[in-house]
Amino acid sequence: LFQARSSKHVTASTPFPLTLWTGGATATHGGRAFHAPNSDFVQLHRDRARSTAVKKEGWVVEPTTSFDGHRTNASTLAVHALFLDADGTGDWHQLIRVAQGLGLAGIFYRSGGHTPTRPKWRAVFPLAKMHETTTESGRAAWRQLYLSARVLFGALAGLSNDGFDPSTDVPCTPWFLTE
């Protein structure tokens, strides 16, 4: 787990709002709000990395605010971070160098199933300003922003093939913590 140097707008002490489900991929209700500093989100990753979970039964997070704890787009009020997923392509070192050079805050971690021959990793970029998703147009705008960002960051990372996963473009995409 690595945290790039902080930007002017996002630091280790900046709140990192997200919704957390501890019951795995099928636990789509009862998410709880996590509104702690970025450094606490990094520590949560470190703590969960010491745990073992059966595939799809680990803790799930979304960098979102939910009004009712349900993992649906209709329940999502805002997105607070850009999560990018790389499966089987590249490594994070080039993107870390670029992010540091640009002064972007970011969190990078290996996802489950990572091996040296098939890298699986994520890059998380906290947003300086939340993106509202309470309307269909807000969700559509998020999708366009996400798809553009995945291509841009994929190019900056030197990723081949599809680069970052194009299918994680909706606000309620579940992200597993590394366990």
pLDDT per position as a tens digit, 60-84: 899 999 999 999 999 999 999 999 9
d(CA 61, CA 118): 24
Residue 157 amino acid letter: A
Question: Which residues in 112-144 are b (16+ Cβ under 10 Å) and which e?
Answer: eeeeeeebbbbbbbbbeeebbbeeeebbeebee
Mean pLDDT of 105-110: 87
Share of the chain above pLDDT 70, in %: 96
Mean pLDDT of 107-121: 82
Q: Is 96 left (phi over 0), alpha (psi -120 to 50) or beta?
A: alpha
3-class secondary structure, 125: strand
d(CA 106, CA 100): 9
Q: What is the pLDDT of residues 17-59, one digit of tens each?
A: 999 999 888 888 999 999 899 889 889 888 988 888 887 788 9
Q: Are β-strands 32-37 and 120-132 bridged in parallel, bridged antiparallel, or unpaired?
A: unpaired
Confidence of residue 3 (pLDDT cuts 50, 70, 90): very low
Total-model pTM: 0.89
Give the tokens for residue 162.
Answer: 């599809």
In the predicted structure, residue 2 carries a pLDDT above the cut 80: no
d(CA 179, CA 122): 14
- How many C-beta neighbours within 10 Å does residue 157 have? 25
> Across all residues in the chain, what is the average pLDDT?
87
Which is higher by pLDDT, 68 or 177? 68
Query: Quick one: pLDDT at residue 8?
Result: 60
Query: Quick one: pLDDT at residue 26?
Result: 86
In the predicted structure, residue 7 carries a pLDDT above the cut 60: no
In the predicted structure, residue 163 carries a pLDDT above the cut 90: no
Angle at 141 between CA 95 and CA 67, to 5 degrees: 95
